[in-house]
Amino acid sequence: MPTAPAIKLRVFSLNCWGIRYFSQHCSERYEMIGQLLKEEEHDLVLLQEVWSENDYLFLKKTLAHSHPYTHYFKSGVIGSGLAVFSKHKILDTFLYRYSINGYPYMAHHGDWFGGKAVGMVILDICDLTIHAYVTHLHAEYCREKDAYLPHRVVQAWELLHFVRHTSSGADLVILGGDLNMHPRDLGTRLLLAYTGLRDSYAEAEKFEGCEEGITLIAENPFINKKELEPFENGIRIDYILFKDLSRVSVKCESLSTTTGSVPGKPFPYSDHEALSAVLLLRSEEGGVARPQRCSAEPDPGLVDMVNEARTEVKVGLHSAERMRGTVARMGMMGLALLLVELVIALVPWLAHSTEHAFPRASFYLLGALSFATLLLTALLYILYSTQVKTLQGAEDQMRLAVTGLQERLQKHSQTQPVEQGRVQGEPTSTPANSP
């Protein structure tokens, strides 16, 4: 079958660490990033943590000629931080915001205020339909006591289903971003196994950059080495993933990362290292669409992974239920304080006296305390109730997925011996046109 010439697609991904008034040398680094992208002229640029729309507009202006097509995904209190720049026309976009994403009272972490999400853009490149996804998952602040692990597992679960259900009409799928998960973490394994996405680092024929492809390195001046413990050299949490679906076959020709400080500059582009992948696409006329991962031969290991994910979600669910119960008890205390206030207020009226038996300052202070307690506990109760419902929903989905996978495994095990028997029982025939 005749094949069209190979197409080289250069993909770039970077967590820009663009928190205004907090991130160091933010303006200077955006100038460096813009200059790099303008010079390198990647086909597709996937950026995370572009928290300020002004910084996005600066990059848009800087890259107006090299990357004329762009989209900024808006979400949450301060935005999603996700931005896409492309040399090729963007046909459509869509944003899915993750249903669970940390806690608002953990303000020093800040994940809740950023509307963590996955953004999708549909591109037309040489008559091929490309679905590109950019995402940023909740951060891991403590490896040993990771309170956000259930949240990140649910986000990975929602991400993989979003990719599966929105990529059916694509010739090529690309996912780039900061997953905040190590290569062997549950969320990463689940994402790759369930979607069939391939890791560009594992697939690359040629690699240049940091050892083992790590994207948070200890030598980066913006990194606190204590946050990397117990990984002395660094960790790999940023990815470019890809998958061919129908009329195209793809392989990763090369992958490179930045390696810390920029030559001639006193600091690097970000606290993360940038990824740059070269994908080689070969399209075939009359190609037949390949099935999605979940319609292929069932994998017993996938059942174990989903069950492991269910366990983590249940841990988060029990924690949320316990916190909701604690908040409810605090609310009852606030209500009791209000009842005490009411009794104190009624005492002068019942005694037909104009003087308060309780000091006014203490009376008003107690009233303010009880009202603040009720308001705070009401808000927290709503928060934890929402998280309980979200985690229950995710666990229900995983339970159904396990049931479906087990049924397919059972059917596959029953039909396989029959098919083998038919093959063994049939005589080998020689094709008519063979010599």
The CA distance from 403 to 323, in Å, is 30
Q: For residue 176, what are the contacts with CB-CB under 8 A and spacing of at least 6?
A: 11, 13, 46, 132, 133, 134, 239, 240, 241, 275
Tell me, yes or no, whether 222 and 317 share the same domain.
no
Structural domain contains residue 431: no
Structural domain contains residue 429: no
CATH number of the domain residue 157 falls in: 3.60.10.10
Domain boundary among 243, 273, 296: 296
Do 257 and 236 touch, CB atoms closer than 8 A?
no
Structural domain contains residue 425: no
Q: pLDDT (tens digit, 9 = 90+) per residue, 193-246?
A: 999 999 999 999 999 999 999 999 998 999 888 888 888 889 999 999 999 987
The pLDDT, as a whole number, for residue 368 is 83
Tell me, yes or no, whether 260 and 313 share the same domain.
no
Tell me, yes or no, whether 225 and 99 share the same domain.
yes
The CA distance from 234 to 216, in Å, is 5
For 110-114, 279-283, 394-398, 403-407, which range has the lowest pLDDT when averaged over its residues? 110-114
Catalytic one of 71, 138, 151, 272: 272
For 101-110, 136-145, 150-159, 357-366, which range has the lowest pLDDT when averaged over its residues? 357-366
* Residue carrying the six token digits 């190979």: 6
**Predicted confidence (pLDDT) at residue 3 exceeds the cutoff of 70:** no
CA-based nearest residue to 387, from 97, 103, 153: 103
Tell me, yes or no, whether 351 and 386 share the same domain.
yes
Domain boundary among 254, 276, 296: 296
Tell me, yes or no, whether 292 and 308 share the same domain.
no
Structural domain contains residue 432: no
136 is catalytic: no
Tell me, yes or no, whether 356 and 287 share the same domain.
no
Structural domain contains residue 28: yes
Domain boundary among 233, 261, 296: 296
Tell me, yes or no, whether 113 and 99 share the same domain.
yes
Tell me, yes or no, whether 278 and 340 share the same domain.
no
Q: How many domains does the chain have?
A: 2
The CA distance from 194 to 210, in Å, is 28
Domain extent for 229:
7-296
Tell me, yes or no, whether 317 and 374 share the same domain.
yes
Q: pLDDT (tens digit, 9 = 90+) per residue, 267-325?
A: 999 999 999 999 999 876 655 555 554 544 567 889 999 999 999 999 999 999 999 99
Tell me, yes or no, whether 231 and 330 share the same domain.
no
pTM: 0.88
